[in-house]
Amino acid sequence: MSETYISLDLETTGVKPENDEIIEVAAVKFQDAKVIDTFHTLVNPHVPLSHQIQELTGIRQADVDYAPPFTAIAGQLASFIAGHSLVGQRISFDVDFLSHNGIKLFTPAYDTFELAIIFLPQLSDYSLAGLAQKLAVPPFRWHRALPDALATKDVFLALLKQARELPLSVIAEMVALTLGREWSLGRLLLDIQEEKLRDLSSPVEGRAASEETDSDFLSRGQMPDEPLVPHREKRVLDINELTAFFQPQGPLACSLAGFEYRPQQIRMMQAVAEALNSGQHLLAEAGTGTGKSIAYLLPAIFYALQNSDHVVVSTNTINLQEQLITKDISDLLQALPLEPMSNDVHLRAVQVKGRRNYLCLRRHAAFRRSEGLSLDEVKLLLRLLVWLRSTTSGDKAELYFSGAEEVVWNRVCAQVDNCLAGQCSYHKRDACFLFRARRRAAGAHIIVVNHALLLSDMASNNRVLPEYKYLVIDEAHHLEEEATQQLGFKLTRDDIIDYLNRLSEPVGGQRETGFLPVFRNWLRGSPGEIGVAPAMQGPLLSTAAELSDKVKAVRTHLSRFFDVLSGFLYHHSEEQGDYERRLRLTRGVRSQPAWSEVEIAAEDLRLTLADIDSGLSKLQSRLEGPDSSGAGISGYDDLMQELAYLRHSNVELCRQIDSAVSNPKGDTIYWATGGQGSPSTLYAAPLTVSQLLDQGLFSTKDSIILTSATLSTEGTFEFIKERLGLAYVNELLVDAPFDYLRSTMIYIPQDIPEPDRPGYQQAVESALIKLCSATKGRTLVLFTSHAALRATHAPLRGPLQVEGINVLAQGIDGSPKQLLTSFRTSSKAVLLGTSSFWEGVDVVGEALSVLVIVRLPFSVPTDPIFAARSEMFEDPFNQYALPQAALRFKQGFGRLIRSKTDRGALVVLDSRIRSKPYGVAFVDSLPLCAMRFGSSQDMPQEVAAWLAAER
Ligand code: SF4
């Protein structure tokens, strides 16, 4: 007979059992699909319900005021549940609340979220509503306990069905991985395995269960196309023909929803086409709403197709890459009369990612066989087992990842130094995901990448992408920052620990994992296989034993080095906020007496690490030498590859330690960070990237188009050209197709003290409360630091909530994606953001009607990169700090007006924009808008009146 389960759901006043209260309980007792009994009640929490909770659940204060307290229903609930397994979405949340309220449960608990990420590994939405939609569970009123519990029951049953449909071999491997672990899922898997074994004994089921082999499903998916062979004679674009596509009655207008005739878009398309035709570079700033993606994609597509050549398109954000592939390119394909090439080749567009995004089947196979796996490792392996049966890309973007699983992924992803390439059996069978992606790129006209991959291809002399000559860099204002990051390094204690763990990691008792135990086992040979000849084993085993000792020695020196570095950091730097310390390692800092201790500790660490390399080198030469008998033994190639990887990583770690501490390079910036709870980290970045970009991109490609909505400052491109080292480049500046003078007001209150002066923070808080009340939310507030955001968030929340306005804060109230969804859909909300929100917010319509810039976005003067680069200028403020801040200001402003029908107000709470001579540079960086100067008292009404005026 089937098991009886309880599906449980609680509604609460918040997410912390120690601070928050239960307001509703529902439990549904079921067997198979049949509901046997239900338990449901509201609960009086004896605290006021926040506006947010009332809005989320629909439960009003009056609903709970006369409900029983939890103590009155606890006994009844405990007896209802007793003896049955629990089911719930994120069930540990409910179990923790019950435990905190006196109901301790010891029955197995199954989390539908956890089951779903294993058995449905490719979903984008694992919320209860998302699962219900995927599994065809009828819609309920979400965030009420009883409907949620009923839906969870149906989702659970549907997930069990998914699990039962997996082949017996997969279930058996899952059972083996979970056996003996304190994890309820293991029991469930065991039950499914037994069921399947019973079914196998039936002749009908037994036939159905004939199983697909690894080779069957790994060779799935479309085989990559043949590589493109560029035509020797270039065929130029017919710009008139392309222009006709954009006319009011043209194919784009007839085919693309919402397409508008925009002269600015046509001008940009023509400039891109001219640059491709003439083999020149182009800097093109196109304001918001120009439609710049289509303006560069259309000529790029035609150029690539008619010349059988690649055009690489690089963007900074995943969102834009996905939009290009899934929307813009596919829209254009529908709309355009694209003739196939003579040999019937149609346009091919692919997205290529860095190799770590792809699963390495060889490493995955080895990992499945490892001993001493942690629970996080097992959880990811279970998901990979299911995912491998459906993925054709092996791209991790298809999977949901928690932070811990990201670390585990590093053990199974493709890696540059650990790839057997042509020697790999998966590669030979055309099953390797990475090489399939590379081959698809070689046959593609449009190759979409991100800046990080573009730059790593540049740094590796074009070993990642097929050879290409035409490049579009969108979001080009990020190029300098991304190059700075990609062409430098970051060294943490964990990096070195990870390296040591790859050699040997104790996992309890006498057990260890890593290269050394695998190597020892290999020497002896596994049962049924021959190992290395006994006479050869002795010297190899003794080198392996020496290596084990050396790993222990490095662990000691590692701790010493990072302790000494932390001590130095503590005594020679100041807290930057968030308890973090940061210190640029200048010549002056290195001349401090205490620095010699850091150098000694670093040298000890480096030498012991180098000692490991000598041991590895000894192993390598013995195994490769003429008297080695290992070459014919299975697993030899894998071991030699791992050895090469370990040696390469060792050299790289030693180089980084040496350069950051003892032998700094004059063209590199070095710094260290650390603080309470965050271990010390060493960083290096190039002092300038212009020469590197010139050598790697600008002087080697025929045509590069750099575009963004924010490239110019005060009407010229001089700043960006100087930063990127762009000497010969065409320029185009097209305004946004919006009438800012009619739609946008800039209000600057003049009575707010300058930042950091007494009274500034209070004035900001008071102005924001009055402004957001008058505009009924609909406001995005941009800060320049998380510390400033947090300081303002608390004083704002209470008064605005009383007005029914939801205050959402980055880093406090959810992920950026969740915050943006809430902000868009909430009738009255204020969104407080920093960092990515200066450019990552695209909210069309009234939900974002007011933009507040709390402080002019100057870089922090102590930022090591900013400080080092400033020293290169005669007038660092005007030549570097000011244009950089003005560009950022313009990016922030770009959040406000997103369509022709938007109307909005920008409020700047930094009075320096008016009081300082440099303030004009910020105003001049924006399009012409209606300007108002007044008092903070009058501001709320003036802004509200502007928004209410006729559109
Ligand atoms: S070719 Fe390289 S990345 Fe691909 S499966 Fe083999 S080792 Fe892994």
The CATH number given to whatever domain includes residue 338 is: 3.40.50.300
Residue 844 belongs to a domain: yes
Residue 8 belongs to a domain: yes
The reported pLDDT for the residue numbered 584 is 96
Q: What is the Å distance from ligand 1's center to 567 Cα?
A: 43
Supply 67's token pair. Answer: 């409900």
Dump pLDDT digits (tens) for 145-199: 999 999 999 999 999 999 999 999 999 999 999 988 888 888 899 999 998 888 7
Q: What is the Å distance from ligand 1's center to 625 Cα?
A: 26
Q: Are 416 and 282 in a shared domain? A: no
Residue nearest to atom 4 of ligand 1 (CA): 432
Residue nearest to atom 8 of ligand 1 (CA): 360
Give dist(CA 922, CA 465) in Å, integer: 40
What are the b/e assignments for 588-615, b being 16+ CB within 10 Å? ebeeeeebebbeebbbbbbebbbbbbeb
Closest ligand 1 atom number to CA of residue 361: 5
Helix, strand or coil, per DSSP, at residue 473: strand
Residue 485 belongs to a domain: no
- Contact yes or no for 499/650 (Cβ under 8 A): yes
- Ligand 1 site residues (CB inside 6 A) read 360-363, 414, 419-421, 424, 426-427, 432, 434-435
User: Could you tell me how many residues make up the chain?
Assistant: 951
Q: Are 399 and 319 in a shared domain? A: no
Q: What is the Å distance from ligand 1's center to 651 Cα?
A: 23
Q: Are 759 and 675 in a shared domain? A: no
Give dist(CA 595, CA 249) in Å, integer: 71
The reported pLDDT for the residue numbered 208 is 41
Q: Hey, which residues does 11 pair with through a beta bridge? A: 24
DSSP string, 199-266: HHHSHHHHHHT----HHHHHT-SPPPPPPP---SSPPPP-HHHHHHHTSTTSHHHHHSTT----HHHH
Dump pLDDT digits (tens) for 724-768: 999 889 999 999 999 999 999 999 999 999 998 999 999 999 999
- Contact yes or no for 872/687 (Cβ under 8 A): yes
- Contact yes or no for 654/606 (Cβ under 8 A): yes
- Contact yes or no for 566/679 (Cβ under 8 A): yes
Enumerate residue ranges in the chain where pLDDT < 50. 204-212
- What's the number of CA atoms in the CB half-sphere (13 Å) around residue 127? 7
Which segments of 444-517 are extended strands (E)? 446-450, 470-473, 489-492, 505-506, 512-513
Q: Are 806 and 938 in a shared domain? A: yes
The reported pLDDT for the residue numbered 575 is 67
Q: Are 726 and 767 in a shared domain? A: no
Query: Closest Cα to residue 282, out of 471, 548, 53, 43?
Result: 471
Other CB atoms closer than 10 Å to residue 54's CB: what's the count? Answer: 15
Other CB atoms closer than 10 Å to residue 491's CB: what's the count? Answer: 20
Residue nearest to atom 6 of ligand 1 (CA): 424
Give dist(CA 789, CA 797) in Å, integer: 12
Give dist(CA 559, CA 566) in Å, integer: 11
The residues, any chain, with a CB within 8 Å of residue 34's CB and separated by 6 or more, are none
Q: Which residue has the tokens 């149609």?
A: 346
Query: Closest Cα to residue 655, out of 665, 669, 645?
Result: 665
Query: Closest Cα to residue 328, out of 281, 276, 291, 364?
Result: 291
Contacts of 512-519 spanning 24+ positions with Cβ under 8 A: 512/372, 513/370, 513/371, 513/372, 515/639, 515/642, 515/643, 515/646, 516/544, 516/547, 516/548, 516/551, 518/639, 519/544, 519/619, 519/639
Which of 686, 721, 754 corresponds to the end of one domain?
Answer: 686
Q: Are 405 and 295 in a shared domain? A: no
Amino acid identity of residue 180, one-letter, is: G
Dihedral angle of Cα 785, 786, 792, 798, to the nearest 10 degrees: 160
Give dist(CA 290, CA 263) in Å, integer: 9
Mutate to test the pocket of ligand 1, among 419, 425, 428, 638 (most ligand atoms within 8 A of CB): 419
Query: Nearest-5° angle of CA 833, CA 837, CA 843?
Result: 105
Give dist(CA 141, CA 22) in Å, integer: 19
Give dist(CA 820, CA 118) in Å, integer: 28
Give the ranges where 251-390 is alpha helix by DSSP (H): 251-255, 263-278, 292-307, 318-323, 329-335, 361-368, 375-387
Q: Are 343 and 404 in a shared domain? A: no
Mutate to test the pocket of ligand 1, among 356, 361, 391, 436 (most ligand atoms within 8 A of CB): 361
Query: Closest Cα to residue 712, out of 452, 929, 454, 476?
Result: 476
Give dist(CA 29, CA 558) in Å, integer: 55
Give dist(CA 174, CA 185) in Å, integer: 10
Q: What is the Å distance from ligand 1's center to 419 Cα?
A: 5
Supply 768's token pair. Answer: 């924001």
Give dist(CA 57, CA 53) in Å, integer: 6
DSSP collapsed to 3 states, 744-778: EEEEEECCCCCCCCCCHHHHHHHHHHHHHHHHCCC
Mutate to test the pocket of ligand 1, among 432, 638, 645 (most ligand atoms within 8 A of CB): 432
The reported pLDDT for the residue numbered 473 is 98
Give the count of domains, the chain: 5
Residue 499 belongs to a domain: no
End-to-end CA distance of the chain: 68
Which of 431, 452, 476 corresponds to the end of one domain?
Answer: 431
Residue nearest to atom 7 of ligand 1 (CA): 419
Q: What is the Å distance from ligand 1's center to 411 Cα?
A: 13
- Contact yes or no for 170/385 (Cβ under 8 A): yes
The reported pLDDT for the residue numbered 340 is 54
- Contact yes or no for 290/268 (Cβ under 8 A): yes
Supply 190's token pair. Answer: 């065991």
Q: Hey, which residues does 809 pair with through a beta bridge? A: 832
The reported pLDDT for the residue numbered 223 is 59
Contacts of 126-134 spanning 24+ positions with Cβ under 8 A: 126/400, 127/89, 128/89, 128/152, 128/155, 131/89, 131/155, 131/159
Other CB atoms closer than 10 Å to residue 83's CB: what's the count? Answer: 8
Q: What is the Å distance from ligand 1's center to 366 Cα?
A: 12
Amino acid identity of residue 84, one-letter, is: H
Q: Are 361 and 298 in a shared domain? A: no
Q: Are 669 and 793 in a shared domain? A: no
Q: Are 337 and 384 in a shared domain? A: no
- Contact yes or no for 687/870 (Cβ under 8 A): no
Give the H or E element holding residue 28: strand 22-31
Q: What is the Å distance from ligand 1's center to 48 Cα?
A: 58
Edge-first strand order for the sheet with 446-450 is 349-351, 446-450, 311-315, 470-473, 703-708, 282-286, 730-734
DSSP string, 108-175: -EEEHHHHHHHHSTT-S--SHHHHHHHTTPPP--TTSHHHHHHHHHHHHHHHHHHHHTS-HHHHHHHH
Give dist(CA 250, CA 337) in Å, integer: 11
Give dist(CA 501, CA 503) in Å, integer: 5
Query: Closest Cα to residue 95, out of 37, 188, 8, 5?
Result: 8
Domain enclosing residue 111, as ranges: 4-165
The reported pLDDT for the residue numbered 428 is 87
- Contact yes or no for 88/94 (Cβ under 8 A): yes
Residue 363 belongs to a domain: yes
Query: 678-686 and 668-675 as β-strands: parallel, antiparallel, unpaired?
Result: antiparallel
User: Residue 71 is part of a domain; what is its CATH number?
Assistant: 3.30.420.10
Q: What is the Å distance from ligand 1's center to 463 Cα?
A: 15
Query: Closest Cα to residue 353, out of 293, 437, 430?
Result: 437
Residue 471 belongs to a domain: no
Closest ligand 1 atom number to CA of residue 425: 6
Q: Are 790 and 708 in a shared domain? A: no
- Contact yes or no for 308/443 (Cβ under 8 A): no
Residue 871 belongs to a domain: yes
Residue 497 belongs to a domain: no
Give dist(CA 368, CA 609) in Å, integer: 29
Q: What is the Å distance from ligand 1's center to 219 Cα?
A: 14
Supply 667's token pair. Answer: 């063209």
Q: Are 744 and 726 in a shared domain? A: no
Which of 165, 193, 223 corresponds to the end of one domain?
Answer: 165
Burial of 421 (0-12, 13-18, 19+ CB in 10 A): exposed
Amino acid identity of residue 222, one-letter, is: Q
Closest ligand 1 atom number to CA of residue 424: 6
Maximum C-alpha span of the chain: 93
